Amino acid sequence: MRASGILMHVTSLPGAGGVGTMGKAAYRFVDFLERAGQRYWQILPLSPTGYGDSPYQSFSSFAGQPLIISPDLLIKDGLLSRDDIQDIPQWDDTHVDYGEAIRFKTGLLRKAYRHFKETPVPLYVEEFQAFRKTEGSWLDNYALFMALKDAHDGKPWLQWDLPYRTQEPISMEIARSELADSIDYYRFVQYIFYKQWTRLKTYAAARHITIIGDIPIFVALDSADVWADQHLFQLDDEGFPTVVSGVPPDYFSATGQLWGNPLYLWKNHRKEGYRWWIRRIRHQLRLTDMLRIDHFRGFEAYWSIPYGEETAIHGQWVPGPGTDFFDAVIQALGKHLPIIAEDLGIITPAVEKLRDHYDLPGMRVLQFGFDNTQENDYLPHNFIRNCICYTGTHDNDTTIGWYAQASEDSRDKVRRYMNTDASSVHWDFIRTALSSTAKYALFPMQDVLGLGSGARMNVPGVAGNNWAWRFTSDDLQEETGRHLRSLTLLFGRKGGTL
């Protein structure tokens, strides 16, 4: 079935509190998707962000982002009062100030936790205890990690006292005792996150909206994932990486991209039957209906860079786990994997073979098709059917911003290919995506709203001022939804699932 949807992270939703949440605006957005004939809502990773605020550099692959917890829902559940949010700062509604949002939201969550402890509601206490039991395999390590992080003034775990870095048993027992309240606070925050997210996901499902999640192939060095399972990563005896992730030099960068994530010690994953990865995928598929795996090509081969290098130049390709990995995942989770393979960039026939062997849809970004005047795989007439056509992604400029900065040759190609004067180029791109042979079409919210470069979500390789874009309630007009619905119906994309 052909279908379409919108790419937008939860943090971009409108509303008070400095950052988008799982509150009223999220439910209204689901309603908008339904009215506009869309069937997919794609989000970025839901995990708690660390340095740089990137959802792709998280403190945990399993934990949820506290920032998107809704204060209004906490009030509705009796965990906060209206008085608790009277001193809400005056925010820029179009931009997330992460530092201030973290300070404000943390204060509210600690108030909610105190209320939970001091005035316990039997139902919530029972739910909390059940949550602790069900999610203990990751929750206990995460809560202890965050409590120890606080106790070390927020420093990365590699800068902690040695017994805590190496998880010396006696020191861990002492920490669990001395930091018991802090540990319980972090468990409570996750209980609230999962409670609110489950409600929202259930609401979306009732309206036939499929939520597409995002799982980065690599995890952050400063994370509970690496700290708790150091034997699964290529680390030295002190916990420092021996090699890190990135991509080699290419047309876009003479020095490549140095991401810096620790690389997996795949032989140990294989010995354990890929248990950690299977838990991770299973867990994420409880949160969302589908998953986009970022940097899919890393399962076939990954670029390994010696730790300490300043660029990605001096790396090498190392074989990944390939079919051995996916066969194990299928055996554990079932034959049909609801996974999207992010296969952008320099992709080899071996990567395509791995993707197609498991019938995973790949990605096609329309902007890439018009970056030059040459024939290429990103032009709709060259699409394979089992793919998702995006007008752009979170890493691209908005369509209007891209067109404004494109060469005249590229703009001429757009106008001729789409038979347009490009006066509403964002709709031209959306229409082209919808009309393509790709089974699925997705477009960033910024393109639906017709916004310029100022609304860009992320500029890869540039530190700061990323991941902050938000839209306001006034931006989303009913006429926009009606127009999107009419195009969606015209090209036979209403309904269907992956």
Q: Which of 222, 225, 294, 343 is catalytic?
A: 294
Q: Coil, strand or helix: which one is 361? A: coil
Angstrom distance (rounded) from CA 224 to CA 219 = 10
Token couple for 368? 């890439």
Token couple for 479? 């006429």
Please choose, from the candidates 1, 2, 4, the residue with its C-alpha nearest in 3D space to the C-alpha of residue 444: 4
CB distance 390 to 433 below 8 Å = yes
Q: Which of 184, 272, 395, 412 is catalytic?
A: 395
Token couple for 490? 């015209």
* Secondary-structure percent of the chain, ordered helix, strand, coil, rounded to 5: 50, 15, 40
Dump the DSSP string for 382-404. G--SSEEEES--TTSPPHHHHHH
Triad 459, 461, 466: Cα angle to 5°: 40
Token couple for 325? 């990995």
Tell me whether residue 342 is one of the annotated catalytic residues.
yes
Tell me whether residue 77 is one of the annotated catalytic residues.
no
- Give, as one character, the DSSP assignment of residue 209: P
Q: Which of 135, 342, 343, 428 is catalytic?
A: 342
CB distance 60 to 68 below 8 Å = no
Tell me whether residue 447 is one of the annotated catalytic residues.
no
Token couple for 222? 């400063």
Catalytic center residues: 294, 342, 395
